[in-house]
Structure 1
Amino acid sequence: MEKVVAKMQDAGLSKAAIDAFKQNYEQLVAGATGLVPESDIEAIDKLPRLDDMQSSDKSDLKKLLSQTAVLKLNGGLGTSMGLEKAKSLLEVKDGKTFLDLIAEQIKHTRKEFGSQVRFVLMNSFSTSEDTKEHLAKAHGDLLKERNLELLQNKSPKIDAKSLEPITYPEDPDLEWCPPGHGDIYPSLLGSGFLDSLIKDGIKYLFVSNSDNLGATLDLDLLSYFAAENKAFLMEVAERTAADKKGGHLAKRKSDGRLILRESAQTRDEDKDAFEDVTKHKFFNTNNLWVNLDALQETLKSAGGVLKLPLIKNKKTVNPRDSSTPAVFQLETAMGSAIECFNNAGAVVVPRHRFAPVKTCNDLFILRSDAYKVTEASTVVLAGKTCPSVKLDDKYYKLVDKMEALTEAPPSLIGCKSVTVKGPVKFKRGIVFKGDVLVVNESSEPKALEAGTYSEQVKALTPVQVPALA
């Protein structure tokens, strides 16, 4: 433990960050499993729904907005999509990036209600410089605001054999890793941000991921959160069969508190119950509402550290070199803090509030006419449903490869599903309708020419192709 603390102190990390990591490290050394047996929890059947809520009048909203801050988690690089800069700087719609659209949403809300809702970006050491450089060019007025940036902490990687901080002289930066978005709490505390926001009269904090354009500042939710005087509110959505492997919300029998249970916290004999979406109906969208006074009091009573379940990821110190030593990266999730508050709640929101861009399939749809940008700079479906897109990972997993094969996004507004097998170059003027399968059996890119493709299998090479399911 002494080596861990010394390394973090030498790096200039705050006491709050060190204390939070010490708790994670103690769980690691103790061999904590974090398992949550099915017998210890109750399934949740009913929750309040956003669709049933109605906001206050405009004058009330103006006051509420003046007491509200919007915080976007902006620490990700999008490395799984081949990006090397802040993921929020990826162009997503009409020449605008995630960050552009988020900034414009804030400005629109301020103008419409005449209220200076606060805006905060939680950057990492990897995204801070790129993000501020972009803001300086496109949104210099926001960059000048006080307390715009909350900087995420970093955590030492732990040698999987010795359980001591790893050393890697070839690239010392690789001795560190992100601490997960549960770091928001020690970051707010250790930086003085929490005290500063409260001193400025900010009571309500809305937190969401910068790559989730569905996570807008919903005024009905803000009104509900304030009226109910909740300490913590989680937006959840209904699980479908496609979500059965993901975590769910539950109630702990011992104290009646809401908790999150992830797959890694589930015993083998409880897997069937875990995956039963008719029993455990709701998953966390990672859109959270936090009462800052309650957070301050909860942190104080907990000695400055929320007791969040440990997430232990085993990797190699150099993620690009499997021959380098194995390490543990210790993380926490911010949603798991729901169990730390005396007066926490959850509300069921429509699925469109959970629309993160995690893959090039998501980006392909977002860039098409299936989505449109509103006057308020929100991104909404142009039609009734979102099409399903499955591009061949071998050729489209990385953004630069997808862009090289896409002259212009096809029209998807009348499409149910598109599946692409092999390298297909999309020409300008393509329209997909219904269910479409495009197949190129060769390894050389083949062009799909302009035209309408409806309810069909389109073979770009003279081979036998499967019938469309």
Structure 2
Amino acid sequence: MTESNGLALARDKMTEVGVPTQAIEAFTRLYHELERGAAGTISEADVRPLEDVPVRDELDVPDDVAQEAFAATAVIKLNGGLGTSMGIDRAKSLLPVRGDDTFLDLIAGQVLAARERHGVRLPLVLMNSFRTREDTLAALERYPDLAVEGVPADFLQNREPKLRADDLTPVEWAADPELEWCPPGHGDLYVALVASGVLAALRDAGFRYASVSNADNLGAFPDPRMAGWFAGTGAGFAAEVAQRTPADRKGGHLVVRASDGRLVLRETAQVANEDKEAAGDIARHRFFNTNNLWLDLDRLAALLDEHDGVLPLPLIRNDKTVDPTDASSTPVVQVETAMGAAIELFDDAAVVEVDRTRFLPVKTTNDLLLLRSDVYEVRDDSTVHALTPEPFVDLDPAHFKTLREFDARFPAGPPSLVLAESLVVRGDWTFGVAVSAVGAASLADPGEPAQVADDATVGADGVVEPLEKTEVPDELDFTEPGEVQPQHAARSQDPVDDQPTDQPTDEPVDA
């Protein structure tokens, strides 16, 4: 079957399930690039490093400017993710992260608190998928005050067929027809905003700007200072970036296109093999994309009109299997785009450096343990703040990868991590009540299921059994004359080189 027939079959399949015309045309554009053999790579020879980035904490934004911009700002959260990497089959935003509070609870709390404090409307709009919409909207019923007149609570992300790798026809998978579909990546944001009518609704309701971020990143809370900075730049698009560490070598990062000086987002999948060393050089390419974006909605609407509702975002080709849990299933190609890639379409695009307090994504149970632990506190405005430098956590994926496995091994909640530099667990360990990790805490694989006892401490040499209360009198002073009490050794933000990374820009929004 010819490639053109493959495209016709794909378009028919999308039409049959009601995919909007703009989304079909966006898919068609990418399909043609596949036919031409495009891999979507961005050569190191064609770019130069991003430098001279303003720092958020050094911005001079007058209060009245911040207030005016914030009053014209909407919050958009990408909420299509199912948390499949943790074995979750519902919206990740409904996962409890602090006590009974879910991501969605804390996001709603952040928005409502910001409204009350600053006297603004600040609508919250979710980009859901077909698989997250029903549960999410039901959960939002607990917050009737979130509704803003004239602004929908959500809009739907689109979907597209997975393509057979051998002939680019839509794959068929009778065992689970849902697996025949995939999300188009979060670059679908722009098509979905137009096709749903939400872009027009926001502008009609008087909103000029939008803050966009992932629902699993509680660090990206509504920020009037950032809104004021963005409005003051006059830019149509801005990205929040952060300093890369060795753990971020494989993540999406921003570069400058040598031919025209425009900012460009280069994802891991867009790096050719011969450029991997240069792209991973964090001293050369210093900033990664946090996926926290700022949009001028008027400028975006004009750009979309110019391109008939389909922005020419760069292709990201993802080669996978139709069943991601079965490596022997049919090889497929997924065509995707990244929402951050729109930065290259604006000649005045801006960037701002933020610290990692605005980048707290939860992609794995390692991240979840940190967020649930005493390293973080949730304040009255539902914002999340670290009390100590974040320790490095690496739980054995053979026993802690899925949420079910993770919760079974922390039945009493997470251990204390405020005195930890790191926590590395190998093997099948279950943690008791009031466990503490101290320093470079490590548990070796005992070869069989094992228990960390209640009140125990985990250190560099494993478990230290809890001492009886009578053995350590409260008044005993361990400090020698002139000796300073030991302090918590703050963990560097640079995890060891061989640890994996999970950048938000590398994980497509789940359909």
TM-score over 0.5 for the pair: yes
Q: Give the unaligned 5+ runs of structure 2.
A: 1-6, 466-495, 497-511
**Corresponding residue for residue 130 of structure 2:** 125
Q: Give the unaligned 5+ runs of structure 1.
A: 461-468
Match of 1:165 among 151, 170, 181: 170
Match of 1:142 among 142, 146, 149: 146
Structure 1 residue 394: Cα displacement:
0.9
* Separation in 2, partners of 1:299, 1:261: 22
**Corresponding residue for residue 9 of structure 1:** 15
**Corresponding residue for residue 211 of structure 1:** 216
Match of 1:405 among 405, 409, 426: 409
Amino acid at match of 1:142: L
Moved more, 61-70 or 43-52: 61-70
**Corresponding residue for residue 35 of structure 1:** 41
Q: Does 1:390 align with 2:391?
A: no
Question: SS where residue 283 of structure 2 aligns?
Answer: coil
Match of 1:19 among 16, 25, 50: 25
Question: Aligned pairs, how many?
Answer: 458
Per-residue CA shift, 1:341-391, capped at 9, x if unaligned?
1221111111221110111111111111110001110011012x1111111
Structure 1 residue 459: Cα displacement:
8.0
Question: SS where residue 109 of structure 2 aligns?
Answer: helix
Q: Does 1:362 align with 2:338?
A: no
Structure 1 residue 335: Cα displacement:
0.6
**Corresponding residue for residue 336 of structure 1:** 341
Q: How does 1:238-277 map to 2 (within 5 A)?
A: 238-277=243-282
Q: Does 1:187 align with 2:192?
A: yes
* Separation in 2, partners of 1:110, 1:246: 34
* Separation in 2, partners of 1:6, 1:403: 43
Question: SS where residue 425 of structure 1 aligns?
Answer: strand
Amino acid at match of 1:4: A
Structure 1 residue 259: Cα displacement:
0.3
Asked if structure 2 preserves the Cα contact closer than 8 Å seen for 1:424 and 1:448, the reply is: no
Match of 2:419 among 411, 414, 419: 414
Q: How does 1:48-447 map to 2 (within 5 A)?
A: 48-57=54-63, 59-136=64-141, 138-142=142-146, 146-383=151-388, 385-406=389-410, 407-447=412-452
**Corresponding residue for residue 508 of structure 2:** none
Question: SS where residue 74 of structure 2 aligns?
Answer: strand
* Separation in 2, partners of 1:47, 1:19: 36
Asked if structure 2 preserves the Cα contact closer than 8 Å seen for 1:440 and 1:459, the reply is: no
Structure 1 residue 158: Cα displacement:
1.2
* Separation in 2, partners of 1:387, 1:170: 42
**Corresponding residue for residue 487 of structure 2:** none
Structure 1 residue 324: Cα displacement:
3.5
* Separation in 2, partners of 1:123, 1:206: 16
Structure 1 residue 417: Cα displacement:
1.0
* Separation in 1, partners of 2:329, 2:434: 48
* Separation in 2, partners of 1:314, 1:39: 25
Per-residue CA shift, 1:161-205, capped at 9, x if unaligned?
221222334433222111110000100111111112111111101
Asked if structure 2 preserves the Cα contact closer than 8 Å seen for 1:132 and 1:143, the reply is: no
**Corresponding residue for residue 464 of structure 1:** none
Question: SS where residue 92 of structure 1 aligns?
Answer: strand
* Separation in 1, partners of 2:257, 2:220: 28
Question: SS where residue 443 of structure 2 aligns?
Answer: strand
**Corresponding residue for residue 466 of structure 1:** none
Structure 1 residue 13: Cα displacement:
1.5
Moved more, 448-457 or 365-374: 448-457
Structure 1 residue 323: Cα displacement:
4.2
Question: SS where residue 305 of structure 2 aligns?
Answer: helix
Amino acid at match of 1:399: L
Amino acid at match of 2:42: V
Asked if structure 2 preserves the Cα contact closer than 8 Å seen for 1:420 and 1:439, the reply is: yes
Moved more, 427-436 or 284-293: 427-436
Asked if structure 1 preserves the Cα contact closer than 8 Å seen for 2:112 and 2:146, the reply is: no
Asked if structure 1 preserves the Cα contact closer than 8 Å seen for 2:321 and 2:331, the reply is: yes
Amino acid at match of 1:340: L
**Corresponding residue for residue 465 of structure 1:** none
TM-score (norm 2): 0.86
Amino acid at match of 2:27: F
Structure 1 residue 280: Cα displacement:
1.0
Amino acid at match of 1:403: D
Question: SS where residue 441 of structure 2 aligns?
Answer: strand
* Separation in 2, partners of 1:320, 1:373: 36
* Separation in 2, partners of 1:306, 1:144: 28
Asked if structure 2 preserves the Cα contact closer than 8 Å seen for 1:63 and 1:115, the reply is: no
After superposition, the Cα gap between the structure-2 partners of 1:322 and 1:392, relative to the gap in structure 1 and judged at 3 Å, is: closer
Pairwise CA RMSD: 1.9
Per-residue CA shift, 1:430-460, capped at 9, x if unaligned?
1222121123412223233313445543389
